[in-house]
Amino acid sequence: MNSDKPASGETAAINFIQEAINEHNETGRFDGRVHTRFPPEPNGYMHIGHAKAFYLNYAIAQANGGLFNLRFDDTNPLKEDVEFVESIKEDIAWMGCDWGDRLYFASDYFGKLYDYAVQLIEQGDAYVDSQSGDESRVGRGTVKVAGTNSPYRERTVEENLDLFARMRAGEFADGDHVLRAKIDMASPNMLLRDPILYRIRHATHHRTGDAWCIYPLYDWAHGLEDSIEGITHSLCSLEFDTHRPLYDWFLDRLGVFHPQQIEFARLNLTYTVMSKRHLGRLVEEGFVSGWNDPRLPTISGLRRRGYTPAAIREFLDRVGVARADSTADHALLEFCIREELNKTAPRRMGVLRPLKLVITNYDEDKIEMIPCDNNPEDDDAGQREVPFGRELWVERDDFREDAPKKWFRLAPGKEVRLKHAYFVTCDEVVKDNAGEVIELRCSYDPASRGGSSPDGRKVRGTLHWVSARHAVKAEVRLYDHLFAALVPGADHDGDYTRDINPESLVKLSDARLEPALGEIGEGERVQFMRHGYFCLDSVESAPDKPVFNRTVGLRDSWAKLEKKLSKG
């Protein structure tokens, strides 16, 4: 499960979509063929909710020996841009979803779509409407009141053909006319009240330039895009359920290949927001540093944070696919990345908030190279040698002047184990004028080298450490939920920015790391022992000033225990 590509057996347990496919295979509806697609609009960055959609499409195709297309649904030149095309491709590929040579654009079908529209007009199934936007809005009625027919609804086929050709030729201004399907203005399904197929937009398209000044709308274009590509199963999110009758109507009227649209519930996650619009606002208003801010659920953010494609896929597999609105627990995502990194990430020692520890009975100039296991979970990971000397950095949080109950770590007079090295006992606490502890003076037991004593005495606490003389200085960034609320905005009338967690990013600029961490490469993931999993920040890290991101912390049962003790 650690490869970049999903294993074939990895795909999720059978779900209702696979059941539908099984049924189609039995009846021979698609001749046993399974062909899916992911149709993003290039107007923003991909987030983990999109990942659910494209991974589902990809996995379903894989599981059935089928094909998966990537198709950009670029029918609205006002909102779309090539910048997004590239980032979307990068994110989908990174997730291991391979579209082979099947990269398509809805804009490639503009000519065919136009011809189909002409066919519809000729059949008497579409007409040019010349009402203003306001008029047609009023005419559509409301959810409880039937709409009324447009005064232009009964134009002749010839007139419609002429007007439509002139729309395409650029004879009219934006908004002068639209092409509408002639369905039923009284339908209880609002979408069937003569939906608009084309609007006039004198805008330059990022791919077709100025070749067109009329652009198709989603409902008209989407089913045909699927049909043209021979898609068998058109998977989309729940809100398109009411669009399905329209999807079917166009395909039936045109008599073309007819894929099956199937809707599933989109992914929501606790402690975050998940829509391009909401994420975009966070970026634009500076609540985060960009679309790839490590606190965002964007694919680029998760990547920068240190998440792996396999862990995200595992998460998606565990969440499953169903039709009920749901909000997955963010803790499950964290579980998945911990599960993988525990098995794969080399262990290293890093002191985040340094406190000097001096071993008074250790020779001033002596340096020992201490062999340390790279990963107790992986027998093949081997060992590395870490320099040890008289002056060390240890974690400030690992010392308490007044040790609480069940405290296993450093305190005056207490003995602890320095991981892989020696037992040390805290003899003296040195403070500055302000009363701040600035140094611990300890003595070590030379017989305890390697971390165990020949007399067999037990030491409960094991601490990580870094030789002061060899330490690499670095900045470390600790991340927490971007929002403090389970469902951001729920208690503030939807204004999720009011639930922003002020401590979602903590920068520690004075961390001291073992030498091996000075040579780590981008994309490598390590465990800082007793802290969590970290990687180099791909944006702001520099060779002379490394910056590490915490992907996720280790479980901290001491923190829980202490909380309980202080309450009890």
Tell me which residues in 465-524 interact with RNA (CB under 7 A): none
Among 89, 98, 118, 335, interactor with RNA by CB under 7 A:
335
Minimum Å gap between C-beta 463 and RNA is 7
Only one of the segments 287-295, 329-337, 431-439, 496-504 lies at the binding site for RNA (rule: CB under 7 A); that segment is 329-337
Q: Is 375 in the site for RNA (CB under 7 A)?
A: yes
Q: Is 325 in the site for RNA (CB under 7 A)?
A: yes
Minimum Å gap between C-beta 287 and RNA is 22
Minimum Å gap between C-beta 540 and RNA is 26
| 231 Cβ contact partners less than 8 Å away, ≥ 6 residues apart | 35, 36, 37, 69, 259
Is 405 one of the catalytic residues? no
CB 419 within 8 A of CB 388: no
Q: Is 146 in the site for RNA (CB under 7 A)?
A: yes
| 479 Cβ contact partners less than 8 Å away, ≥ 6 residues apart | 294, 295, 305, 504, 505, 506, 549, 550
Distance of CA 453 to the CA centre of its chain: 47
Tokens representing 193?
């009240």
Q: Between residues 364 and 455, which has the closer beta carbon with respect to RNA?
A: 455
Q: Is 554 in the site for RNA (CB under 7 A)?
A: yes
Q: Is 364 in the site for RNA (CB under 7 A)?
A: no
Q: CA 28 → CA 33, 35, 150, 228, distances in Å?
A: 9, 14, 43, 20
The residue to which tokens 């912390």 are assigned: 553
Q: Is 566 in the site for RNA (CB under 7 A)?
A: no
The amino acid that residue 524 corresponds to is: E
At residue 392, φ and ψ (nearest 5 deg) are -125, 160
Among 37, 258, 420, 525, interactor with RNA by CB under 7 A:
420
At residue 145, φ and ψ (nearest 5 deg) are -125, 130
Closest CA to 372 of 424, 419, 423: 419
| 388 Cβ contact partners less than 8 Å away, ≥ 6 residues apart | 367, 368, 369, 370, 418, 421, 422, 465, 467
Q: Between residues 53 and 293, which has the closer beta carbon with respect to RNA?
A: 53
Query: Which DSSP state fits 367?
Result: -
Site for RNA in 305-324 (CB under 7 A): 318-324
Tokens representing 70?
């990537």
Minimum Å gap between C-beta 176 and RNA is 7
Q: Is 196 in the site for RNA (CB under 7 A)?
A: yes
Q: CA 223 → CA 220, 226, 256, distances in Å?
A: 7, 5, 10
Q: Cα–Cα distance between 130 and 153 in angstroms, integer?
A: 9
Is 41 one of the catalytic residues? yes
Among 36, 76, 234, 551, interactor with RNA by CB under 7 A:
76
Site for RNA in 246-285 (CB under 7 A): 265, 270
Only one of the segments 86-94, 292-300, 334-342, 429-437 lies at the binding site for RNA (rule: CB under 7 A); that segment is 334-342
Q: Is 15 in the site for RNA (CB under 7 A)?
A: yes
Beta pairing class for 391-395 and 383-388: unpaired
Q: Between residues 191 and 516, which has the closer beta carbon with respect to RNA?
A: 191
CB 466 within 8 A of CB 349: yes
Q: Is 217 in the site for RNA (CB under 7 A)?
A: yes
| 92 Cβ contact partners less than 8 Å away, ≥ 6 residues apart | 38, 46, 54, 70, 99
Q: Is 529 in the site for RNA (CB under 7 A)?
A: yes
Is 368 one of the catalytic residues? no
- Total residues at interface with RNA (CB under 7 A): 94
CB 34 within 8 A of CB 61: yes
Q: Is 23 in the site for RNA (CB under 7 A)?
A: no
Q: Between residues 213 and 482, which has the closer beta carbon with respect to RNA?
A: 213
Q: Is 369 in the site for RNA (CB under 7 A)?
A: no
Q: Between residues 433 and 557, which has the closer beta carbon with respect to RNA?
A: 557
Among 2, 7, 8, 16, interactor with RNA by CB under 7 A:
16
> Active site residue: 37, 71, 168, 276, which one?
276
Q: Between residues 248 and 377, which has the closer beta carbon with respect to RNA?
A: 377
The amino acid that residue 390 corresponds to is: R
Minimum Å gap between C-beta 542 and RNA is 28
Binding mask 378-417 for RNA (x = CB under 7 A): ----------------------------xxxx-------x
Site for RNA in 29-58 (CB under 7 A): 39, 41
Annotated active-site positions, please? Answer: 41, 266, 276
